[in-house]
Chain A
Amino acid sequence: MGVDLDRLSFGIDGTMILRDVSVSVQTGSVTGLLGPNGAGKSTLLRLIAGIDTADSGTVTLDDVSIGSLSRRDAARRIALLEQNAAPSVELTVLEVVLLGRIPHRTTLMGSFSGEADRAVAFDALAAVGAASLSDRSWHTLSGGQQQRVQIARAMAQQPSLLLLDEPTNHLDVSAQLSLLGQVRDLGVTAIMALHDLNLAAAYCDRILLLDGGRLVAAGTPDEVLTPEIIGAVYGVDCFILEHPRGGHPVIVYSAAAVAAGNS
């Protein structure tokens, strides 16, 4: 699903979180949303998902404005994974994944999920390599397993657009790599907020860089992840190398801050 953002602005209690963000995301691409803490990454994902409404500007999904969709219709197209979500009751993995079928059920009698829903849920679990976990209790899973099950839940929603808010948070290196690899393999248009520039460089087709609520750079990892841009946004000194196998940029940081100017 193609996503077009046009001059998107959003504020909370007079504080501007996002200003004039305009960008287009291609169908089937994986986009990394980067930026320092408080740059507006999570807010932008919520606006794209239609959970919050922009003060001005528009979000258009394949020529349909998000504002014209009902919550349910939006949920049939877009799945959003928030950071560090935990259930308030004891749920099994299968029950968590079945939650993803909710937008596809009928409103009135939809409580009665059928075999079709279960088949979709099992396929989604298999797609993230978690089929064997289906009967496990959510709370007994490791962080990496929980994130994989969350992705399966999102896939059970059968979305055309997958939004992920720092999906690799708190995961070990191997779990981070396999999770992002799985997101790529799903083949769905994905936009994910990330903190790790190297992961973004390795797994994303395009990078959007936010700073102070503004989109300061957009393009391929090679175009966006340069020492100048990274220095300006994050205030760190770095070198860019080429990955020996993948050819994508690898960022190597220097210890001292650019701003201090005394390295």
Chain B
Amino acid sequence: MGENLSRRRYLSWLVAATATLILGCLVAVTIGPAAVSLTQVAASIGAHLGIPTDAPVPILVDSIVWQLRLPRVLTAALVGAGLALSGAVMQSVTRNPLADPYLLGLSSGASVGAVCVVILGIGFALPVAAFLGALLALVATLSIARVGGTITPVRAVLAGLAIAQLAGALTSFIIFWAAKGDSYREILNWLLGSVAGATWSSVAIAATAVAVVGTGILLSATRLDAFAFGDTSAASLGINVNRTRWALLASVALLTGAMVAVSGSIGFVGLILPHLVRGISGPGHRRLLPLVAVAGAVFLVVADTLARTVFDPRELPVGIITAFIGVPVFIVLIKRKKSHLWA
């Protein structure tokens, strides 16, 4: 009985969040140095999707909407969804409330891969390099954390910290050694995170990764639930623990790699959003995952809009905004949550 009520409540949250996301994306496209109205945005998108409109949109406005702002907003939404999903999965399979792609070295590893490719001037290999970097960092972190066949949450965080530091040093070294002129700016974007350079191909990469990996993760919701009491309990519930854990972590590495390839390493989305959303959806993954993806998307669209407007005409890397919002939220969560999660 209560279940049905709360199911309805959950669905209304999901619908409300999705509506907020769509509306938020449209409004975000209107915001910027050149004034664009919501009608013009709708008309421009409609025209490109082949829907005839009464009032034709000026060509300049159309190119601002279609070429500049829309790809950027969509990329922000997709990256937010991808990072939030990654964080939720990592927290479950490592049984660690602190796990997110950033903390376990994934993002830093992906940055090394991305920076290498930028320096070598083979930009088309970027997503692949970022994925390989993320995967390598993940394998390194988990091999260090794995002692006597088990991975404890504390060891995973410590190992991730070491790998993230190493990857950060490697990235800085590569820049110091090889970067000149323009590549500095591009590299800074990866380190701090930004969707400023997003194009339709960014959207395509992020959308493919979120759709493919996200579907796989959603279908694994039950298996993720089974990890709640740890490995032995998951195994006794019929889960093939090692195979499931590595498959899910590799999926997350792929997802994070794709996100870093289009936006650099944006922190705190994957860490904070799962905690916030669990408060609404509960810990069950079939409810948590869809809502966390939508909430992550909303969060990053808002953060990116702030990033490009607050100090207009100068633009902040969005990673700075997510940290400014994320850290206080995190502190509130630490203070509010009962100590068992953080002991």
Contacts and interface: CB of A to CB of B under 8 A. Distances in A.
Given A49-B236, A118-B3, A99 B230 contact: no
Given A111-B221, A139-B338, A87 B238 contact: no
Interface string B225-241: 11111101101111110
Contacts of A135: 2
Given A82-B233, A89-B283, A99 B238 contact: no
A85 B238 contact: no
A243 to B, nearest CB: 34
Given A49-B236, A79-B236, A112-B286, A102 B222 contact: yes
Chain B interface helix/strand/loop/mixed: helix
Interface stretch (A68-76, A167-175, A183-191, A214-222): A68-76
Contacts of A105: 222
B46 interface: no
A98 B152 CA distance: 25
Interface residues of B, number: 35
Contact of B226 (A76, A92, A99, A108): A99
Contacts of B239: 71, 75, 102
A49 B232 CA distance: 10
Contact of A75 (B2, B229, B238): B238
A206 B8 CA distance: 51
A51 B234 CA distance: 10
Interface string B1-16: 0110000000000000
A228 B341 CA distance: 48
Given A51-B232, A85-B233, A89-B283, A108 B238 contact: no
B155 interface: no
Interface in A63-117: 70-76, 78-80, 82, 85-92, 95-96, 99-100, 102-103, 105, 108-112
Interface in B308-343: 338, 340-341
B219 interface: yes
Contacts of A73: 238
A85 B226 contact: no
A147 interface: no
Contacts of B341: 88-90
A88 B238 contact: no
A95 B95 CA distance: 17
A75 B234 CA distance: 10
Contact of A72 (B91, B97, B232, B238): B238
B237 A157 contact: yes
A111 B236 contact: no
Contacts of A96: 228
A96 B229 CA distance: 9
A195 interface: no
Contacts of B222: 102, 105, 110-111
Contacts of A90: 278, 283, 338, 341
Contacts of A51: 232, 235-236
B69 interface: no
B237 A102 contact: yes
Contact of A76 (B225, B230, B238): B238
Given A89-B278, A91-B283, A135-B2, A99 B232 contact: no
Contact of B237 (A46, A75, A92, A118): A75
A73 B239 CA distance: 10
Given A49-B236, A75-B236, A91 B228 contact: yes
A88 B3 CA distance: 22
B271 to A, nearest CB: 15
B96 A88 contact: yes
B232 A88 contact: no
Interface string B206-229: 000000000000110110011111
Contacts of A99: 225-226, 228-229, 233, 237
Contacts of B96: 88
Contacts of B237: 75, 99-100, 102-103, 157
A118 B1 CA distance: 11
Contacts of A111: 218-219, 221-222, 225, 285-286
Interface in B252-286: 278, 282-286
Contacts of B97: 88-89
30 contacts: A51-B232, A51-B235, A71-B235, A71-B238, A72-B238, A74-B238, A75-B238, A78-B236, A79-B236, A80-B232, A80-B233, A80-B236, A82-B229, A86-B229, A88-B91, A88-B96, A88-B153, A88-B228, A89-B278, A89-B283, A95-B282, A99-B229, A102-B222, A110-B222, A111-B221, A111-B222, A111-B285, A118-B3, A139-B340, A157-B237
Across the A-B interface, the 4 shortest Cβ-Cβ residue pairs: A75-B238, A103-B238, A72-B238, A111-B221
Given A86-B229, A89-B97, A111-B225, 19 more contacts: A49-B236, A51-B236, A71-B238, A73-B238, A79-B236, A80-B236, A85-B229, A87-B228, A88-B92, A88-B229, A88-B230, A88-B341, A90-B338, A92-B282, A100-B237, A102-B237, A108-B219, A139-B338, A157-B237
